[in-house]
Structure 1
Amino acid sequence: MHLDEKSARAFRLDLQAARENAIKDAEAFEGIIHAIERLGSFLLGRIEALGPYQPPLKDLAELSALASDIPSEWRELHTPFDLLYNEVKNARNDALHVGAYARHLTIHAIELAIVLEDALRIKETNLKEVKKMETTVSDFMIRNPVFAHSWQPISIVRQIMLTNSFSYLPVAMGDGKWRLVSDLAVAKYLQGCSNAKRKKRLATSLEEAMEDKDSFPSLDDAVCIHSSATIAQALNQSGGKPLLVTSKKAGSEIVGFLTPFDLL
């Protein structure tokens, strides 16, 4: 079957979600493999094992320079697609999937996902260009955004950041505005004090912590961008920090956020 821009995007986001989950769990390679199997069965037009999926997946992967061009020049840093795919396929068939072995398999699965994501991104862009459609923020933003509220304690802000590996977390302020709390601000607030004081600060609301200007750095105002904005506009407005994405259909609600990391 042929990929259109919508299916290319859906499979890219599927792989991205599985890869991000594997980064959090060093043994969560199965999610990536299942995403690859879904893509392979779509391209092949039938359900098979990993082996028969390799030819159509390779054809897709070759859209990306990461499949063979870059590995041929930087072999000590990048593994060619065929070799990477065979390593994942063979390792998946082995019975022992624990400890260091599973972590090794997860690393290869992540690398394989990165190649296919890049190819799908190129495929999606090429299809849009044919239809004279521009790539927009909505194509790369993180949906169902996670954010904190100013009334919540520092403990939950810290927990959300650690759980999601966030450097910045959007905060809904009581005045209807959005701000960004950084991992640096939380670290400065909690480190270098006694255990008793740290316990008290963990239980302090973000709003109260912000009033302690000597201990808690001021929060940056969040920059909002419309979902229909171009990627070039997003990069110009980012300043290295997340952008909060809005939509006319959602009113004042935030429908997603976009970071420079999402555009790599």
Structure 2
Amino acid sequence: MDSPPLSVILPVHDAGRFLDEAVASVAAQTAGDFELIAVDDGSSDDSPARLAAWARRDSRIAVLRQDCLGVVAALNRGLAAARAPLVAIMHADDVARPDRFAKQRTYLAAHPEAALVGSAYEVVDAAGRRLKTVRPPTDPDVVGARLASGNCIAHPTVMARREALLAAGGYRPAYVAAEDYDLWLRLAERARLANLPDVTLSYRRHGSTASLRRFEQEVLCELAAQAAARLRRRGEADPTGECAAITRALLRRLGVGEE
């Protein structure tokens, strides 16, 4: 079987409530020559059955299953299984606009120096009602500068060159709450990153996506990613790659004081 031009990676864990809408939005893309790799991360709801039904109906969809190993393991497994030179990330509770893949493939074809392109997006609630529109910077120079202080590329809007992601080291397990931001910082050291001004995705915000504990872990991981990037810029070793988790003790080791 010939390799497709695009592999879509969809990590799934107990996403049955929104999963059909997410997969349907991928299946309906105007640029339809892709493979969708859904990685079920030990779901205990009806997500596996829903994915199996989609795979029976659409030969572009493949389903991989693993024990509950976490989103980083699911992303890396999907990345390893991808056969295409381009990969797009999709979350199991979001909805892609029909022309998302077409627009992003066009951009990457016209900008060979870019390793990744995200986009503007709208935030919606559980019922799909629009809450706001987020328009991150688009110019690669501005994106690169802005990344030093915060993540300005929304993970589920991303399309990237697979080899560039692998060369940067893929997703690192320690950064479980900011795995995308850590990867973007490493990728920006070797390539240009951009965002489209177009809204290509509805990003769903609902109760299961937010918790105080997760927010605290995100802050720790973002601070660690920034500190690790500063070390790499100075030519020093990045100790976070081999860590099992980002902790306050590790932050102190990285020179980040308590706030």
TM-score bin, normalised by smaller chain: under 0.3
- The structure with the largest alpha-carbon Rg is 1
More strand, by proportion: 2
More helix, by proportion: 1
| TM-score (norm. length: structure 1) | 0.25
